[in-house]
Each structure stands twice: as structure tokens, then as C-alpha cells.
Amino acid sequence: MRLEAKDKLVMIGDSVTDTGRAQPVGEGLFDALGRGYVSNVDALLGTVYPELAIRVVNMGTSGNTVRDLKARWQHDVFDLKPDWLSIMIGINDVWRQFDSPRQPEIHVPLEEYEQTLRQLVSQTLPNLKGLILMTPFYIEPNRSDTMRARMDQYGAVVRQLATEHEAIFVDTQAAFDAALQHYYAATLAWDRVHPTQTGHMVLARAFLNAIGFQWS
């Protein structure tokens, strides 16, 4: 596995990462890590690799776009001094284009998304042992669906950045696509975005597989 003893892993993103985590820093007892994939990742790391004492911190914030991440980057990333950083952002950047079409000022176009995420990655990578980039996703099997097609474009940006910077890449959309061979989309997320516990485990499994987690 890529993570080592005493490593500090900060996981940042939007509501899918947030899931009710503690404020201002998502770390500690009870539900401090939220009730989603971050908590699942922490629990499995602690169960299978207890000797490593890996420290997981949840810095997801509901409703965030990449613009919001940029605004809070100093406090929520640099000040926490992570060894490893995981980023999953882009769902709201796309979603606002569809659920709030008459408010273009809150839309984040693809070019801005790429430019901003690239800037954050470039600024932060020299301070990290490792970077994990997770695609945004839309739990919809029809790839011709307008929002699904747009989300795939944003996911392609994440893939490209991961390749350029030799980051670990987590294709969350592919993970959900595999699950959708057996589930109706609303079974995994009533709004196609906020996963059930099964959906969050799909995310956790994809994340752990990408970092070389040994399930046995």
C-alpha cells in the first residue's frame, strides 16, 4: 500500500465528502469524519493496517465548487500539512449548470474548472508525499444524458491532471458504472449524486484499490 506509518491523509471535496463531518476540522471521535466514504476509508485502514496509525481528516464542505476550494485552500489544506491529499470536486460545478440554469454567475465552466484545479494541484504537490485525484460523478447509466455527458468532460480533466502530475487516479464514475449493471440509479443515490451507504462503499473501495490496499 502506498500510505506509510503515521501518514496524515486529508480528503477534501463537496457534500459527498462532507457527509456531516465535524467543523471546523473533520477529525476526532464519533461522527467527526462524517458518515460517508471518508469514514469507510478510515475504518478499513484502521482495521487492516492498525500498525500504521494512519491519520484521516475530512475537509469536505457541502455545496462547494472548485472556486470554493480555492478560497479555503490555505486554511483547509496548507495549514493542516497533510502527507497525502485526496481531492474530489466538480459535481456542483456541473450540477449548478442544470439545476440553476438562470444563474450563470454560479456556474463553473470547464475551462475555469481545469485552470483552477491545475493551479491548486501545482501549488500543493511539492509539499506532499502523494496526491490522489478522484473524478466527479453522476450516477446515471445513460452516457448520452446531458448532465452525465458534461460530468464526463470534467472527469476527463481530472484524468489528464493525474497523468500530468503522476498522481493516483480514482475513476469514481467507472466504479459507479460497474455497480449500475446491477442497481437502478436511484437505489444508489435518490438524486443521482448523494450516495446511499452502498454507494459510499463503492467510492471507498475504488479509493482503496487505487492506493494499493490489500483486502486480504
Which element (helix H / strand E) includes 86? strand 84-88
CB-based contact 180:141 (threshold 8 Å): yes
CB-based contact 56:41 (threshold 8 Å): yes
The three cell numbers locating residue 137: 460523478
Which element (helix H / strand E) includes 133? strand 130-134
Beta-sheet pairing, 84-88 with 55-60:
unpaired
State the Cα–Cα distance between residues 192 and 85, nearest whole angstrom.
Answer: 26
State the Cα–Cα distance between residues 146 and 32, nearest whole angstrom.
Answer: 36
The catalytic site residues sit at: 15, 191, 194
